[in-house]
């Protein structure tokens, strides 16, 4: 049963990879390009998320 | 002068429409999260076996790929969305049952729950208040999703804890990016269907919670 579920999960995730690939191509072709300062505006909150997760790990150890 | 008045009226109409999508999205998101939590509680009470998580996720993913996009423009899309989130909640209960058996399991679950909430609220607040359009991240995020899924497929059969940790960490960062991306698209009119918008945000929250649970579970003393 478990092997069957693993194979089914792998197949469904394979389908997700295919859909993600199509979405990636569409966004690369038609999506807006980053303006000046856009990536910095993304990296900062994501760095805060990473730091917050590290804090949570420290709390449970 | 007439053109200026038209621009003002048209701009106001677009703002009202965007606010309506935003309001509907957050209301539906709240409802689906509560329903999901109730289903998780039911699953814990029934003490469902761990394999139920994988089975629920598989069915939910199939519904999300093949059924939801076709019904998202009608009222039946709301029912399908509740079915998907109910299934994911029910499967989540199977995982939570395992964690509750650990000595510090309830603490880990509570920490993951609070952490997920704070991450979502923080990122959503940031996306809502900043003037930036984060839709430029689309290609990067979907490329990241592809890589993560490929590694996750390999790890289904390899079962390496270190790889699981790495995948969970990557998922948290990717889903955080998706929260910024999806919220920004709603605000800027890129996403006008509140059912699909809710589905995207729900998946981000669900995946952050599961990944945080995994990281905290592996890193805790249990």
- Please give the ipTM for the structure prediction: 0.92
Total domains, chain B:
1
Nearest by CB to residue A53, choosing from B132, B215, B220, is B215
Q: How far is CA B20 from the centre of its chain?
A: 21
Cα gap B120→B62, rounded to integer Å? 25
- Structural domain boundaries, residue B192: 2-219
Provide the domain count of chain A.
1
Cβ contact (<8 Å) for B61 and A49? no
Residue A32 pLDDT greater than 80, yes or no: yes
Overall pTM surpassing 0.90 (yes/no): yes
Q: With bands split at pLDDT 50, 70 and 90, how would you rate the model's confidence at A18?
A: very high
- Counting every residue, how long is chain B? 222
User: Which residues of chain B lie closer than 8 angstroms to A27, CB-CB?
Assistant: 138-139, 142
Q: Is the pLDDT of residue A28 over 80?
A: yes
- Tell me the C-alpha distance between B186 and B18, whole Å: 7
pLDDT for B131: 76
The domain in which residue A36 lies consists of 2-60
Residues B196, B71 contacting (CB under 8 angstroms): no
B71: closest CA among B59, B56, B84, B58?
Answer: B84
C-alpha A55/C-alpha B216 separation (Å) is 11
Blockwise average pLDDT, block size 10, chain B, 222 residues = 55 76 95 97 94 93 94 95 97 94 92 96 95 91 95 90 93 97 92 95 97 92 64
């Amino acid at each position: 049963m478990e092997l069957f579920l693993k194979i089914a999960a792998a197949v469904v995730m394979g389908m997700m990879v295919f859909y993600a690939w199509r979405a990636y191509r569409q966004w690369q072709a038609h999506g807006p390009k980053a303006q000046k300062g856009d990536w910095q505006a993304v990296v900062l909150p994501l760095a805060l998320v990473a730091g917050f997760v590290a804090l949570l790990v420290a709390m449970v150890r | 002068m007439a053109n200026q008045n038209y621009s003002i009226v048209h701009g106001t109409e677009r703002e009202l429409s965007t606010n309506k999508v935003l309001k509907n999205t957050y209301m539906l998101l709240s409802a689906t999260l509560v329903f999901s939590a109730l289903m998780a509680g039911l699953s814990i009470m029934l003490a469902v076996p761990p394999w139920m998580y994988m089975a629920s996720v598989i069915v939910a993913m199939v519904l999300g790929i093949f059924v939801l996009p076709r019904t998202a423009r009608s009222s039946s899309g709301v029912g399908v969305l509740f079915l998907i989130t109910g299934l994911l909640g029910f499967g989540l209960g199977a995982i939570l049952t395992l964690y509750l058996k650990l000595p510090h399991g309830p603490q880990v679950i509570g920490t993951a729950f609070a952490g997920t909430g704070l991450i979502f609220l923080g990122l959503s607040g940031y996306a809502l208040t900043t003037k930036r359009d984060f839709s430029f991240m689309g290609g990067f995020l979907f490329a990241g999703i592809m890589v993560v899924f490929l590694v996750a497929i390999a790890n289904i059969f390899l079962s390496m804890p270190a790889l699981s940790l790495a995948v969970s960490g990557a998922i948290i960062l990717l889903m955080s990016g998706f929260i910024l991306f999806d919220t920004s698209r709603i605000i800027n009119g890129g996403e006008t269907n509140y059912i699909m918008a809710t589905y995207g945000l729900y998946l981000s929250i669900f995946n952050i919670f599961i990944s945080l649970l995994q990281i905290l579970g592996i890193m805790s003393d249990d």
